[in-house]
Structure 1
């Protein structure tokens, strides 16, 4: 009886695998495909899990189990169209959009303090436009990144001087962050602060400057907790999981119970028990708990792997870019996704106190999803302008139109003469 060949685990086989992987990673459009593939799988998983996690609450509230997932699908289509437009935009137009975006984000954040603004989840960070509502702080993150990348790229030769490094970048970003802080949204403010400091690190800011900003950020976070009774209750609940079981600890303990009951392979898709009322707003900030319950450790690790691939691709784009603006923009978007995902996962796993931060590309929410997709459009645009990718795409553009043009305009006699000469 013939035996099956054993897998090649010899040093030669290892070298072959390493060579194959290196060949894949050296392709000009690898970064583009890594971002596109990982984000597409996260979006598909997110849409599926929003349906599963929200079906019960949607049926009870709206008599329609598909209410939230239908809205999420609409947001997804709008975001994809916006991302596709940003991918094709020239760099000069994108840089102008950064300035317009910062101005618009500032105005919208100020409007949250007027009659148009309203409170949701304890934070006054929403604007009612009549036909829909938006959360300006989500778009402020992207505007801050694009605008900051433009300003710091223009000041590249003067970046070693602290006044040129920090002005006007620090005051403008600080203003946007403070507007979010006064809304009561500490989680989003922390993410925006991390983006601001992270971009300065990518630019090459001196360590003493980063240290001062870091100490200021720590002091700011402490102040946010001390001045808010709600945050202090959340901190106390985080430090002692056995207290306030029907209050501040309710959501965190329900999330841990969901993850623990998932085991290795989960309770199967749609089999979550906590989404029946034990876990409030399961389709939003705590959607990872439902993923852990229904898909188990295996599904949770897939989500983590996809975020790691996206983070690797973003850093790869930033380090490979030969244009300062695209380097800073790609780095800022990557920092945004990774920091926000890290905070969300840490909250769900009880490693941090509860903070209202959604899981990028996965959690339910129109403003967050559209802003995430627009940021992906910027990242994909930067990937297409890596030096080798730019050369490859330029060669394709120069080659394809010539064939089409000659096939249409070349006369039969000219074609016969060309073939005869060959």
Structure 2
């Protein structure tokens, strides 16, 4: 029996081997950019405050090491097991959010950190991730069972309680993320349009209430429209941020040569780290970082689309919304499109807890992508094996 041998065409060359490799490389690039920028933005403050220009850099490098360990653990840990851990994660987060209000380290009038020896961690950062895991577990089960999704459930109530505890710290920016990302996940999961409208109205009313109960928030909102009218008051950060960005021009002043970090721009290595980056590296470098975040969003969406279960889909969506959403909010804040909300730039702003959890989240995303690829390959092999069996049986019948 003659066999027709077809010459296979060479596979089309790809920039990445797969979505997971793309996400890992983007994360590494952002961490490298962030590390360089954090040192450049912080060495003046570190020298003036701690007599050690490497103070923040050293702590950041320690966080990277811990973050890498968390990343590798997450990539090899079956993400389905997170569903069983939801009660523990929920209880731990609620306890931590209460403890920080009682015994937390107070900085600028806010209690957001719990001290452990020489290190500190932020329970509100944990609440962001736990809220996503809880919501993904609930929504994933609804998607798999093809049931109607409504906002009236115990899971969302607990998420809102966590957000309320974060708001008491006070930290409105993080509270909005703790509650907002899960609500967006409900929208992505296919919640009825009517309930989406009701949620939108409720969110608007709550936001208005949260702004009015704190006078400084109303002042920030007023200065948002014209920060130069209060350039020495609540509009100071926005004015200094815009000045830093504008002075950077197309190519920047040069790495380490920016002047805004010399006590002009508050929080130069944390919330406004990207303003320093813009001043020293210019518009071209800013566009490169912007493209990295956009590319990250695309590959995260690909993994969410290919996930084989509702939990994986919603986890991937939640991680994408959190990472890219924070990036968009931070960039909008430093150019004045949003009021000052205190949202860090993932992988680039200084913050140990945030960095570690962001890297762990990317690890979970890789785990979801690996499992989806494994399931797809297994199904493909099963189909191929079935086709071979059918063709073999057909040939045997013809020979008979």
| TM-score, reference length from structure 1 | 0.83
For 1:80 and 1:209, locate their aligned partners in 2 and report how far apart those are by CA, in whole Å. 40
Task: Return the offset for 1:379.
Answer: 1.0
Identify the residue that residue 390 of structure 2 maps to in structure 1.
none
- Is 1:316 paired with 2:306? no
Gaps of 5+ in 2: 1-10, 382-400
2:14 to 24, 39, 43: 24
For 1:207 and 1:122, locate their aligned partners in 2 and report how far apart those are by CA, in whole Å. 40
Contact 2:23–2:296 (CA<8 Å) still a contact in 1? yes
User: Which is further off, 286-295 or 244-253?
Assistant: 244-253
Identify the residue that residue 383 of structure 1 maps to in structure 2.
369
For 1:158 and 1:322, locate their aligned partners in 2 and report how far apart those are by CA, in whole Å. 13
User: Which is further off, 69-78 or 236-245?
Assistant: 236-245
Superposed CA deviations along residues 40-74 of structure 1, whole A, max 9, x for unmatched, are: 10011000000100011111111111110110000
Task: Return the offset for 1:388.
Answer: 5.7
For 1:157 and 1:317, locate their aligned partners in 2 and report how far apart those are by CA, in whole Å. 17
Q: Aligned with 1:155: secondary structure?
A: helix
Identify the residue that residue 181 of structure 1 maps to in structure 2.
167
For 1:79 and 1:317, locate their aligned partners in 2 and report how far apart those are by CA, in whole Å. 22
For 2:325 and 2:192, locate their aligned partners in 1 and report how far apart those are by CA, in whole Å. 22
Superposed CA deviations along residues 73-131 of structure 1, whole A, max 9, x for unmatched, are: 000110110111011112342322333222211110011221x1233244322223344
Identify the residue that residue 50 of structure 1 maps to in structure 2.
38
Please give the root-mean-square deviation of Cα atoms over the aligned residues, in Å. Answer: 2.2
Contact 1:187–1:357 (CA<8 Å) still a contact in 2? yes
Identify the residue that residue 93 of structure 2 maps to in structure 1.
105
Identify the residue that residue 72 of structure 2 maps to in structure 1.
84
- Is 1:146 paired with 2:133? yes
Identify the residue that residue 135 of structure 1 maps to in structure 2.
122
Task: Return the offset for 1:390.
Answer: 5.9
Contact 2:273–2:349 (CA<8 Å) still a contact in 1? yes
For 1:34 and 1:140, locate their aligned partners in 2 and report how far apart those are by CA, in whole Å. 27
Identify the residue that residue 354 of structure 2 maps to in structure 1.
368
Superposed CA deviations along residues 291-319 of structure 1, whole A, max 9, x for unmatched, are: 11011001100110110011111111111
Contact 2:228–2:239 (CA<8 Å) still a contact in 1? no
For 1:84 and 1:99, locate their aligned partners in 2 and report how far apart those are by CA, in whole Å. 24
Contact 1:193–1:217 (CA<8 Å) still a contact in 2? no
Superposed CA deviations along residues 360-391 of structure 1, whole A, max 9, x for unmatched, are: 11100111111111111111111212246763
For 2:149 and 2:306, locate their aligned partners in 1 and report how far apart those are by CA, in whole Å. 26
For 2:82 and 2:328, locate their aligned partners in 1 and report how far apart those are by CA, in whole Å. 28
- Is 1:65 paired with 2:53? yes
Contact 2:106–2:112 (CA<8 Å) still a contact in 1? yes
Q: How has the CA–CA distance of structure 1 residues 390 and 107 changed in structure 2, closer, same or farther, with 3 Å as cutoff? A: farther
User: Which is further off, 42-51 or 147-156?
Assistant: 147-156
Aligned counterparts, 1:11-410, within 5 A = 20=12, 24=14, 30-114=18-102, 116-156=103-143, 160-162=147-149, 166-387=152-373, 391=377
Q: State the number of aligned residues.
A: 371
User: Which is further off, 200-209 or 124-133?
Assistant: 124-133
For 1:363 and 1:128, locate their aligned partners in 2 and report how far apart those are by CA, in whole Å. 20
